[in-house]
Structure 1
């Protein structure tokens, strides 16, 4: 549900109108509330104990003997469906609490549907349901209340201290926006002159006491010193010019005269003064509208009026969808509509003023933020290809053109400024220049742990941002490959930035690191596994002096450790592998010149 920060019909008079207080200390005499709310000029104790000795009701706990201390009871009835809240306004030095009951039976209150009890240590001026009308995040507020027609409520307002200057009640919520005249059911008030009236000081209020069989009307005014007859006022209607308590005596033929009273209170109407236009960069920087409040208020006190800002006149008039005071402009030109509202009565407002927010567009930079260049003597041009003559350009390297040519790797930052009067709007974009060289494989080693395990290490002439791949397998970041299958493989190293590649062919076989030709039928011969994966493989065995000792072919049983029938001594021996490669060429297997040991 959308929350509206609209507050309806606030009455907040703590001084001269204290004598007009409408307060009932007992639930059974609860003061009825319609769309015009009463003003209380202070509470003084309580009547009977409406909680029959109970020690707690919702959040309100027993004080000195009873739940109620200085209490006031009110009742109201819902006329429409919607969202309802209320604000209880009071002196910031005082501490007020409330409990709201969904019932019209004082003998069966049940648990309150909303309840709030705090010590007001933060000096708030409101407590209630919904949202604080001053816009602050106030913990002394409960959640909005969803209401339906016909529901009746009893509201107890309580003050634990004997020192209080009274309070006002101000209704709020979207129900009063959608149904301003019927949100509350006014049939709850049985009074010829109707409920109390709160009006703006530029409004005309007319009290109507018209009675069918009336012979005469006598009007009285209590402006603080008691009721006094108003000379010359004998009509059924009375136009009101000042705040006060009004009484009418309706003279009837049978002597059954009627007397009716009501309160009329005027709240000051604000004036919104002209505001200066604002200019800001469209870079996400906020404009502080709090600083605009003083312009709108002029000499008016921010304690009496609040200022809100809106995107349309309709929103400003309704007080709906207020913009954040930290406003971030998103358009080149935007009209802001200003509403100045009386805190005493939110129906007293002025929405006549506007001002413009001029947004300065930032330069658009679209060049690449990473550039990779190959070559031994690289050079590259970076920056904005199409400059704008209205902007100024400056690089972190000192150049003042939109394009620069660089011959060194690094990060280069371009600041582009759009100057409008005293406002400078700056866009910054950096480009990282990386100079790459193609990878060069300097060596490959193949280490055999045993006849089934191997480790292939690829070494490069220079380090770089490279990836390593064996055959068509998934590339990896490391130049180490474990346990490759026997046979011919292609090792490829690529520059990840597209700056070339290098490849080598290797052959992987399996052989034992030593053998023991001692006739025990265990490890008596030395042979190489995996030769069947090659075409025409030949293993040639040498001693340390390079003398040819033996050759092993694909189907050979292996070498027994002898030469021309003579047993050779314990020592290290070397071997080479030749085979026919995929091009049909007889070739030596690269990176496979290895040795093994003969032990007896």
Structure 2
């Protein structure tokens, strides 16, 4: 019986001790009292250190590698270093050290990268001071398995242990396997710190292998257990929206669970520069003077603690913030497309909000941002107002629409006729600006009275405007083409040969004739037949019947004599037909005459002025026979060929 009592007493003590280590929080764990983020890196470096600079209070029992990092860009067993990503540049083991940002996703946020060893030992400690004694606390840490799932490496496994300054274990909790799923995992341990305001987190390796066991640590926090605080406005909404210039007072209140005895309170406000106590607001319910507040976000929270601890940061409970948003009045802008001509569209435009409401003359209303009003009349002229709304706040804006009367363009002429090369002045009136088109042939297309010198019939359109309302008018300038005579190319004929003159005349409405009329069948024809007996020059005359101009052109007709070639001569000294003569050849001073015998031997040649052939070769009489000639007169004639009989 005595032994049984001792056993039951031992079990009771063991259960009580474990219960004390793992007390349950009857309220809620508030915002982090202490946060270790391991600091911030930059855009260039890969390794950082020393550890105390970036993570005050942290220490490691591994070999800490500071900048510039290990030569092979990866850690060895029992080494650690501060990095922005496990996959450091030049990483020789890409399957084991995967790229990943820190727990918050900040690309420059740092983490502590560790390559574990096969020894059950403390490899990391974080000291935390100034905690409130006799508090239930929660310590949490984020852990990332640095390996790829494809590596199939041994997973890290560690124990979270909390000790007091005397080395007493306040509580401990295993993490279990930290899976290689490229995800940060959070682990926590709850404990009571008793009378100690300082605690130390110890991480103990539980993976008894060097294979794998690669991991990163980030964001170690301590939260205190306190009452759950749910603040609210008197409207029972966690969010209030107001408009600048129309803010109103409200009451802050909170639902608070049991937690502190003899609790005290303090409301705080944050307008963007950090949390500050609101003077005099030290009750659970507080009236806030919120009149005439400028645009911005106003946050409110309630802190509570036991009497005497309200000013001790680590000894109080803090609520999540609730906020009031004061929206700025929209910068309302109203515009129109400018003076509008009667009959055209009025185009309104507003900006600065998300919804719009227009009103205006002639009972106009619209909720469009940019309404268009067709077929403008004078009744639509005046002031248009738009109410511009954004985030529930409204501001007005106005724009004035002017309606212009139409203009009537007047021109000095509607049609004009000129000869090509001449000009005429165009003139328009009725407006303040003028634009003519096409611009070709005009001295200046942007004046009221340009000089027009078109080369062909052209209809000019002038746009007359008073600055906004254009109207158009037309003037057609007819251009009569000038007369151009062309007598054709010079020609060559033989006496008695008729020839047709190739006359041509272009232009508008003309008459023509040839001079002289000698040897022409009809000098009033454009292509008369000419039979001159000697060289002659004809002139084609053409005149415009529209009074534009006259033109003339000449053609020369070269008339050669008829060439007759004798085919027999008798060089016997009787002075009758003693030489072979070609009478007309004297008209061809550059002629070439060649005579050959039947064997093709050249027996006679005359170049230039022709001399009659006496039937000799080299001064000796040639025998009677048939001889063959070729006669070149000039480029206008083909070479004559044939035979001549020499008789004695």
TM-score above 0.5: no
Structure 1 length normalisation: TM-score?
0.32
Larger radius of gyration: 2
Structure 2 length normalisation: TM-score?
0.31
Higher RCO (CA < 8 A, seq sep 6+) = 1
